[in-house]
C-alpha cells in the first residue's frame, strides 16, 4: 500500500517533514528524507539532549570497555544541521497532534514555551520506555534503568562517585541488556546477583541452549535466581539495601539495575486517534504509514511482521528500527518506497566470552505459533581443529520436517557464532531449505573456518534426518521405554557418568557386540555430541534393529536439557 506523496496535486511541492524522536528510527528517517529530497524542510524534535546515540554501546561504557562517552554519539545536532540541513530541536517535547490542522503542539523544555508546528508529513519515532514496577524504592538514587544517555550518565556517575563503597549489585531481568550489565558490573569488581522471573535466561532461546549461558554465569560467580520474580525492596536512608523475590530470597545490595523489558511509547499516537495493533503498538502498513496516511511510525513503538509466522512481532532492536526509519523517510520525502518485509528477531549477546545468538523461530516459538517443526544440533569448532585456538560452538537449526525449510537457528559458543547465525539468517530470508545450507560456497582457510563449515555440517545432519537415514530424539526426550546404548569411550563414561539404564558399548566395539542388545526393542544411541551416535544408529539400523534413534546433541546437550537427571 502506498499513499500519495508530498508532491501530489494540491500539496506543497516543498513539504515540511516533522520527525518526533531521534536515535535509530528518527535519525535514519531524517537523513534518508534529505538525501532524496533536497528542497524539503525537515525538522527533528528530540525531548532529550542527544539526537542519535548508540544505546547498544552503553553497557560497555558503563563497564569501561568503551572509555569515552563521546564514542556513543552517532550524530550530534551540529552534524545533522551542517551536513543534512536538518533543523534539530533538542529538549523539545511533542505534546499533542492535531491531525485535521496537521500541526504538532511542542513544548521547549528549558524555556517552558509552547507552540504549534505545522507538518505535511509526520514521522513518529517515540521509542519505548523501560518497564518499572510500581513499588516502594524504585525511585531511590541507587536504582537504575538503562535506555537513554541520561540513564547512562546517571548510572556511570553513580558508579564513579560511590565505587569505593560498592560491593554488590542486583540485576533484575535476564534478557540481552540484563546479561550485558551483569558482565560489565562484574568487570568493575562488583558481586552480581541476577534475577529472572522465567525458568531460563535469554527467553528467545530454547531451554538447553540457554542453560549453557547459565552455567557460564555461575562459573563466573554470578548468583543466578531463576523463577524468582521481583517482589519488593528494603529501603534504608532513602536507598535500596535489599531485594526480595516472590520465591523468598532476600539479596542485600548496593545498587539495582532494572532490565525487565520495555513498553512502547504510544500515548501521543493514541491520543491523536491513531490505531493500535493487537499488541498495543502503533499499527502501520508496509510503508510505515499509520491509520492516518500523512503520519508514519517507526522503531520500538511499532510491530513488524515476523517472516516465519506473518504475525505482528515486537522487536525492540536497532536493526529493524534503522531500516524502518530509512524507508519511512524515503516514502515521506518522495511518496514511494519498497516494503521492508518481515523481521526474524536476529540478536546476539556476549557473556564472559561466551556468545549466544538467535534468529527466526526456536522450537518453543514454533510450538506457540502452531508450526510443525523439528530441530538438529551439532557441536563444531569455529575454524579448523588442527589450527591453534579453535573454539567450540553448539549450533541448532529448527526446520519444517515436511519441506526442509529452515525456520530458525541458535548458536552458543566462542568465536564465530555471529558469522554462522548471520549466514543462516540470510538463508531463512530467502526461504532456504536444509539443502541450501550444504551447498553454500563459504570462505575457508584454517584460521577462519573448515572445509566442512558448521553451517554445512548442520545442513548435512538435518538432511540425514529428513531422508530417514536416522530418526532423532531431542535432548530432553523421555528415554524410559527405550533401550539405551552409550557408544562413548570408557574414559568418557568414567569421567562423565552414563544414563541409569544405558548399556555401554564403545562405538568401535559395537559391530562385534550386537548380541548383547535386543534388536526387537526401540533403541536410542547416545554419544557425547551426536556424531558417533549417528554412526552407531546407522550400524544398528542396518543390522536388523527395527527402530533406532540418535539422541540429538548427545550427552553434552542432554546435560543442559535435563540438568537434574541422575547419572551413574
Q: Cell numbers at residue 215, please?
A: 552455567
Instruction: Find where cell 579453535 sits.
Output: 390
Q: Please work out, in degrees rounded to the nearest 5, the angle formed at the alpha carbon of residue 387 by the alpha carbons of 382 and 390.
A: 30
- Residue pair 333/28 in contact (Cβ under 8 Å)? The answer is no
Contacts of 144 (CB under 8 A, 6+ apart): 151, 154, 155, 158, 255, 256, 257, 258
| Torsion angle in degrees (nearest 10) through CA of 146, 149, 150, 156 | 70
Distance, CA of 336 to chain centre: 31
- Residue pair 25/321 in contact (Cβ under 8 Å)? The answer is yes
Beta strands in 289-436 (DSSP E): 295-297, 304-305, 312-313, 347-351, 354-360, 374-381, 392-399, 406-413
Compute the radius of gyration of the chain from its Cα atoms. Answer: 27
CA pair distance 35, 258, nearest whole angstrom: 39
Name the catalytic one among 56, 152, 527, 562: 56
Distance, first Cα to last Cα, the chain = 63
For the question of residue 527 being annotated catalytic, the response is: no
- Residue pair 75/34 in contact (Cβ under 8 Å)? The answer is no
Q: Within 10 Å of residue 371's Cβ, how many Cβ atoms? A: 16
What amino acid positions are annotated as catalytic residues?
56
Amino acid at each position: 500500500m502506498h499513499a500519495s506523496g508530498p508532491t501530489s496535486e494540491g500539496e506543497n511541492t516543498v513539504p515540511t517533514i516533522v520527525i518526533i524522536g531521534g536515535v535509530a528510527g528518527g535519525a535514519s528517517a531524517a537523513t534518508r528524507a534529505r538525501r532524496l529530497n533536497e528542497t524539503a524542510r525537515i525538522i527533528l524534535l528530540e525531548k532529550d539532549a542527544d539526537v542519535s546515540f548508540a544505546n547498544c554501546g552503553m553497557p560497555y561504557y558503563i563497564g569501561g570497555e568503551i572509555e569515552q562517552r563521546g564514542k556513543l554519539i552517532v550524530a550530534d545536532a551540529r552534524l545533522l544541521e551542517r551536513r543534512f540541513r536538518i533543523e534539530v530541536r533538542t529538549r523539545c517535547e511533542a505534546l499533542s497532534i492535531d491531525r485535521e490542522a496537521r500541526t504538532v503542539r511542542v513544548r521547549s523544555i528549558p524555556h517552558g514555551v509552547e507552540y504549534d508546528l505545522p507538518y505535511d508529513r509526520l514521522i513518529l519515532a517515540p521509542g519505548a520506555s523501560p518497564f518499572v514496577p510500581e513499588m516502594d524504592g524504585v525511585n531511590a538514587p541507587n536504582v537504575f534503568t538503562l535506555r537513554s544517555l541520561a540513564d547512562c550518565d546517571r548510572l556511570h556517575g553513580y558508579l564513579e562517585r560511590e565505587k569505593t563503597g560498592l560491593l554488590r549489585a542486583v540485576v533484575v531481568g535476564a534478557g540481552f541488556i540484563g546479561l550485558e550489565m551483569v558482565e560489565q558490573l562484574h568487570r568493575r569488581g562488583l558481586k552480581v546477583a541476577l534475577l529472572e522471573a522465567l525458568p531460563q535466561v535469554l527467553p528467545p532461546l530454547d531451554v538447553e541452549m540457554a542453560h549453557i549461558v547459565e552455567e557460564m554465569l555461575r562459573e563466573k560467580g554470578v548468583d543466578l535466581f531463576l523463577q524468582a520474580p521481583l517482589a519488593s525492596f528494603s529501603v534504608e536512608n532513602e536507598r535500596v539495601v535489599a531485594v526480595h523475590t516472590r520465591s523468598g530470597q532476600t539479596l542485600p545490595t548496593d545498587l539495582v539495575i532494572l532490565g525487565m523489558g520495555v513498553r512502547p511509547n504510544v500515548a501521543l499516537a493514541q491520543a491523536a486517534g491513531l490505531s493500535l495493533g493487537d499488541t498495543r503498538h502503533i499499527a502501520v502498513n508496509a510503508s510505515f504509514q499509520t491509520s492516518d496516511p500523512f503520519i508514519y511510525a517507526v522503531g520500538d513503538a511499532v510491530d513488524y511482521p515476523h517472516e516465519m509466522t506473518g504475525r505482528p512481532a515486537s522487536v525492540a532492536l536497532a536493526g529493524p528500527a534503522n531500516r524502518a526509519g530509512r524507508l519511512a523517510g524515503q516514502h515521506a520525502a518522495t511518496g514511494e518506497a519498497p516494503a521492508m518485509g518481515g523481521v526474524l528477531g536476529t540478536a546476539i549477546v556476549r557473556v564472559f566470552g561466551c556468545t549466544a545468538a538467535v534468529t527466526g523461530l526456536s522450537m518453543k516459538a514454533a510450538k506457540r505459533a502452531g508450526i510443525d517443526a523439528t530441530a538438529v544440533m551439532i557441536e563444531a569448532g569455529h575454524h579448523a581443529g588442527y589450527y591453534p585456538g579453535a573454539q567450540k560452538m553448539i549450533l541448532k537449526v529448527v526446520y519444517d520436517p515436511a519441506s526442509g525449510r529452515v525456520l530458525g537457528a541458535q548458536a552458543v559458543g566462542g568465536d564465530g557464532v555471529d558469522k554462522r547465525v548471520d549466514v543462516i539468517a540470510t538463508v531463512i530470508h530467502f526461504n532456504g531449505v536444509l539443502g541450501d545450507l550444504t551447498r553454500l560456497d563459504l570462505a575457508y582457510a584454517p584460521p577462519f573456518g573448515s572445509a566442512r563449515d558448521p553451517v554445512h555440517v548442520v545442513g548435512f545432519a538435518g538432511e540425514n534426518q529428513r531422508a530417514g537415514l536416522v530418526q532423532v530424539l531431542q535432548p530432553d526426550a523421555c528415554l524410559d521405554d527405550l533401550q539405551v546404548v552409550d557408544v562413548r569411550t570408557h574414559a568418557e563414561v568414567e569421567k562423565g557418568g552414563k544414563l541409569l539404564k544405558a548399556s555401554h558399548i564403545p562405538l568401535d566395539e559395537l559391530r562385534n557386540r550386537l548380541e548383547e542388545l535386543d534388536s526387537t526393542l526401540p533403541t536410542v544411541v547416545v554419544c557425547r555430541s551426536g556424531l558417533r551416535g549417528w554412526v552407531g544408529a546407522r550400524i544398528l539400523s542396518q543390522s536388523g534393529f527395527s527402530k533406532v534413534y540418535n539422541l540429538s546433541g548427545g550427552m553434552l546437550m542432554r546435560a543442559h536439557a535435563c540438568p537434574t537427571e541422575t547419572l551413574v
